[in-house]
Amino acid sequence: MKLKEVRNRMTPPIFRDRNRRRKVIWEGVYEHYRDVPTDGLGFDENVWIEQTRRMTEMLLESESFSPHVDTVFEDHAILPPTVVSLVGDAREATILDFGGGMGVSYIHLRQCLASTFTTWYHVVECPRVCQVGSVLLTANGNMDENITFHESLPESIPDLDLVYICSALQYVEDYAGLLQSLARLRPKAILLAKTSAGDVPTYVTVQVNMPGLSVPYWILNVDELVDIMASAGYALRYQSVLPREYHQNNFPERYRFRRARNLLFLQK
């Protein structure tokens, strides 16, 4: 199967349609999270649970192929090399994935890393996502012991190497408080992947491109994020932008962040 076909199969129809029509993703500029008009149950909504389940199932099916790095979408491609570089010759890593869905990034790691590499993976998600994810990652009646789903942030995780947040920080009302809580777990590094941040004022908008859902969504000032992490004992060591440029023509110029960023912070 060609790479393009694999990506098309794994991309939910709602997102393929969005890309074709370049429909509006966000609307409005608000100062406070709770000022945003919302619709639906957020990420507990049935349509979101179903789309996430389907995407995870198709990715699990792709594991029948030989491992290929090119099956890792750009959203998650930074994770495997970051993990390897952090642990070096240890060949074992403990990772906390906040907002990690049903384990998509974990599946990517299984495809990319050598069979001799052991990953202990913790996903923090809403209860229904945790429940469905646990079922999906059950093989022959036995849960994959390398992945654990948490409905709330654990108080501690021994020997934590990396905290990973991919395209999830922007949905958290108290994003600064979350980052500080994650930093108190004292991981070696914190990787904010596909983060909606740039040289713009921090503001909250409403995401409107998901059927039946309207949810608050932070667009963050990147310098503010660096300052929050510095106060928690972490320094920015790497950043990059993803290639996709977002359609924000319905926003004034000063509010267009244009491209999502990857930000890697290490303990000072």
Structural domain contains residue 125: yes
Residue ranges making up the domain that contains 54? 3-25+43-197+222-267
- Taking residues 127-144, what's their average pLDDT? 76
Read off the pLDDT band of 51 (50, 70, 90). Answer: confident
Structural domain contains residue 130: yes
Least confident of 26-40, 63-77, 90-104, 215-229: 63-77
pLDDT at 13 over 90: no
Structural domain contains residue 33: no
pLDDT at 192: 98
Percent of the chain exceeding pLDDT 70 equals 81
- Taking residues 103-115, what's their average pLDDT? 86
Structural domain contains residue 207: no
**CATH code where residue 157 lies:** 3.40.50.150
pLDDT at 23: 81
Read off the pLDDT band of 164 (50, 70, 90). Answer: very high
d(CA 43, CA 195): 18
Read off the pLDDT band of 140 (50, 70, 90). Answer: very low
Structural domain contains residue 34: no
Structural domain contains residue 16: yes
Read off the pLDDT band of 194 (50, 70, 90). Answer: very high
Would you say 31 and 203 are in contact if contact means Cβ atoms under 8 Å apart? yes
Structural domain contains residue 51: yes
Domain total in the chain:
1
Structural domain contains residue 208: no
Q: The dihedral of CA 14, 74, 162, 226: what is its sign?
A: negative
pLDDT at 139 over 70: no
